[in-house]
Chain A
Amino acid sequence: MALDDRKSDFTFVGTRPNRPDGLDKVTGRAKFGADISAPGMLHGAVLRSPHAHARIVKIDASRAEAHNDVKAVVTRADFADVPFKPGLEGEFWNVLENVMAGEKALYDGHAVAAVAATSALAARDALKLIEVEYEVLPHVTDVDKAMASDAPIIREGAADYSVPEGMHPNVVRYHESGHGDVEAGFAEADLVIEDSFVTEATHQGYIEPHACLGMLGNDGKGELWCTTQGHWIAQKTCAALLGIETSQLRVTASEIGGGFGGKTTVFIEPVALALSRKANRPVKIVMTRSEVFRATGPTSSASMDVKIGMKTDGTISAAQGVFRLQGGAFPGAPGDMTAMCAFAPYNLTNVKQIGYDVMSNRPKQAAYRAPGAPMGAFAVESVIDELCNKLGLDPVDVRLKNAAHEGTKASYGPTYERIGLVETLEAAKAHPHYAAPLKPGQGRGISCGFWFNHGGETSVSLALSEDGSAQLMVGTPDIGGSRASMALMAAEVLGIAYENIRVTVADTATLGYNDVSHGSRVTYASGLATIKAAKHAVEKLCERAAAKWGIPVDAVKWEDGCAVPSGPNAGDFDPMPLADITADMGSTGGPISGHFEATPEGAGVSFGTHIVDAEVDPETGKTSITRYTVIQDAGKAIHPTYVEGQFQGGAAQGIGWALNEEYIYGEDGRLQNSIFLDYRIPVASDLPMIDTVIVEVPNPGHPFGVRGVGETGIVPPLAAIANAVSNAAGVRMKQLPMSPPRILAALKDNG
């Protein structure tokens, strides 16, 4: 998309007004997924497999169906017959199979049946009346074991075109890329380090569990209210899984209590609709936390081998990585993304990366902020840190020496446009944190991180009111402050106050298609669409002013919220404010609105650099993060407070992922820690104050220079924290999380 009107002086953009949803959220007025009910509503509950891998021999629901309180029971037979295809081509089938098991239960927690009853308690009790006969099968939950020749086969035929012959059927996608000659590069190196790294699966950990209310009649018309990052994809997927027309299902997104990628698909939504269709009444389902852990999310776990060669002056002569990602019992683990992002911060002559997507008996992985990138960065940046330590080099200097910049051939192929990695590294070097002395027992870690960002299909509509205020309808659920940033961008174009613009997340029946709020795309793509929609409205405002003045429309320009005459022959008129034009718009041509629909294709890539100080207690193995600084290129920060919040959120989630969070499976393949008491996400007392530095290297693909900021912030923390902990403990930590038992074991092994 050509942008010939880039702006760099701003009135509203870059300010920090109050958030528009603040009062609703602090007073409890905001309506989240579970905050809804309907007349005649039933409550749904889902029966889940207690086995990691089992053939479903028989489901007998007759006792449940006979119960007075039960109004419907559904199994796989109550869903559409979606065709199976290998790899991600068959994603509708994959989602259906995950939503409700077919022939086999594929992981502990896999849905096998569901009931709708007159109360939530009755629904849960009724689950006990459903008898399921299982034939338990061998299972595998570890990525390396799932690739071994003797591993149980999850599903034949799931691999796509990309997998080389001879690999186990659990390997379902393969990616290889790079350039140069890595062997020649390693031969040039003064020091080569090769090592292996492991990360465990973690959950996105959103505070709000999945919740929805579905209504579907036998006429194929339905309504769905749900907590989601994308209600159009929910609409499309539910329609496909239930065999109804997409447009006949209207989906409304609730307020969302966190998503982080985990709410970009559906789980209970098609189940509620199937139950509703059978019972002919609305059905509400709210997951328990245990269900959230067992059957939604999590991110992939990873096993990785990284080899890097370096010269004594710090130049990286070659880099190679093999990244094996486990994504549950379905294709989709982002091994390709891990591979493409792992070395992206560096200007490399010789680089090669391989990614595997591997199935195992775990829940279907879901995206989690920059899916796949944090694991790769952990492995790569750990090896770079070790090289710096061994060669006695400064870790920021080495990264600056090798940093990618405009014109660098990226490790994944193309040549970078203008990017801001060097600026983040220079800011790191200049930051007081980097020069601050460390106490005994403390270590400092550095890491860079990269993420692509995304554009995606986007529709926005803006309508002006008679009093000169504006309402803006967007289709991207507000997961990171987008209503505030949209209002700021509209205010910038219209020239009216931020407070005079109300932004609404429209439902699927009132706006054109919008992709999910993912890929750090909202401020970029919905923002670009908002700017274009506001400009569309401004064109009409100028037309009305020109007509009132009796001058040509090209003799009118828009300045500071007013139409003003422009040019030598325009005449001498006082500026005409927006509200003066909208006051009588009904009689001067009708309502004034602006809209924009497109797929913006200029989301600029983004880089960040993190500095972390950690202190390790050698007696207990407990790690404290004592100082944390996030430096990231935002292109242009529309609402800097929200940008800082994204940076801090990435660091906080990264601290959890690095130090404590992990899916723990027993020998029986069942998840051992499916509540927050046993799955330890960071609490306030685990976190230091997290300092932030916003770097602004404008994205050439956005009118205001915006780059997405939602995901890059989760990429460096695992590595930066691991480097800090390793430097504090004096031993290289190669497995996440670095929980106290693992640190104690590493200290013991190190003598």
Chain B
Amino acid sequence: MVEVHLWSSLRSLTGGQQVVEVEAKTTGELLRALVQAHPQLQAPIDAGVSIAIDGRVIATGLTEPIPEGSEVYLMQRLRGG
């Protein structure tokens, strides 16, 4: 299981949960599992998210592996100039 930490304002979409546990081995699986657990998370995911695995920010990739025991944070998609 992966513990996914959400940003605070997503709590309104997960019944108050800021940490959601899902079964996932890749970033793509993780996003699918999050929506399965909390369908309202589809909106922020569609709007664009990045995933930080042990501090490394995966901006867009859906095939990045999530090692067992990793620290995982969902983040808003980064935009640069």
Contact = CB atoms under 8 A, between A and B. Distances in A.
A369 B38 CA distance: 35
- What secondary structure prevails in chain B residues at the interface with A? mixed
B33 interface: no
A453 interface: yes
15 contacts: A88-B47, A88-B48, A89-B47, A162-B9, A175-B76, A178-B8, A366-B81, A370-B80, A371-B81, A451-B80, A518-B80, A518-B81, A519-B78, A520-B80, A711-B80
Interface in B8-49: 8-9, 12-13, 40, 43-44, 46-48
A413 B75 contact: yes
Given A455-B59, A601-B59, A519 B81 contact: yes
A160 B61 CA distance: 23
A334 B81 CA distance: 11
Interface of B: 5, 7-9, 12-13, 40, 43-44, 46-48, 52, 54-61, 64, 71, 73, 75-76, 78-81
A452 B80 contact: yes
Contacts of A174: 9
Tell me which of A164, A369, A415 has the highest count of chain B C-beta atoms within 10 A of its own C-beta: A415
Given A368-B81, A519-B81, A162 B55 contact: no
A123 interface: no
Nearest to A521: B80
A188 interface: no
A260 B7 contact: no
A79 interface: no
Nearest to A413: B73
A12 interface: no
A519 B56 contact: no
A177 B79 contact: no
A414 B81 contact: no
Given A177-B8, A414-B73, A89 B44 contact: no
Taking chain A's interface residues, is the majority helix, strand, or loop, or is none over half, making it mixed? loop
5 tightest A-B CB contacts, nearest first: A261-B81, A519-B80, A367-B81, A161-B43, A414-B52
A89 B46 CA distance: 7
Given A160-B47, A417-B56, A601-B56, A412 B80 contact: no
B80 to A, nearest CB: 3
A722 to B, nearest CB: 21
B50 to A, nearest CB: 9
Interface in A312-369: 334, 336-337, 340, 352, 366-369
Contacts of B59: 454-456, 599, 601, 603
A370 B12 CA distance: 29
B9 A176 contact: yes
A550 to B, nearest CB: 40
Contacts of A262: 81
A526 interface: no
B9 A177 contact: yes
B47 A161 contact: yes
A415 B78 contact: no
A608 interface: no
Interface in A144-162: 160-162
Contacts of A455: 59
Given A160-B47, A603-B59, A711-B80, 4 more contacts: A89-B47, A177-B9, A337-B79, A519-B81
Interface residues of A, number: 52
A205 interface: no
A464 B64 CA distance: 32
Nearest to A598: B61
B15 to A, nearest CB: 15
A477 interface: no
Interface in A588-642: 599, 601-603, 605
Contacts of A162: 9, 43-44, 47
A599 B76 contact: no
Nearest to A229: B81
B55 A416 contact: yes
Interface string A238-265: 0000000000000000000000111010
A88 B71 CA distance: 28
A260 B81 contact: yes
Contacts of B80: 261, 367, 370-371, 451-454, 518-521, 711
Contacts of B58: 601
Contacts of A451: 80
A701 interface: yes
A599 B61 CA distance: 7
A176 B81 contact: no
A476 to B, nearest CB: 12
Q: Which of A174, A261, A336, A367 has the most CB of B within 10 A?
A: A336
Contacts of B48: 88
A7 to B, nearest CB: 20
A175 B73 contact: no
A175 B71 contact: no
A413 B47 contact: no
A87 interface: yes
A602 B73 contact: no
A520 B61 CA distance: 18
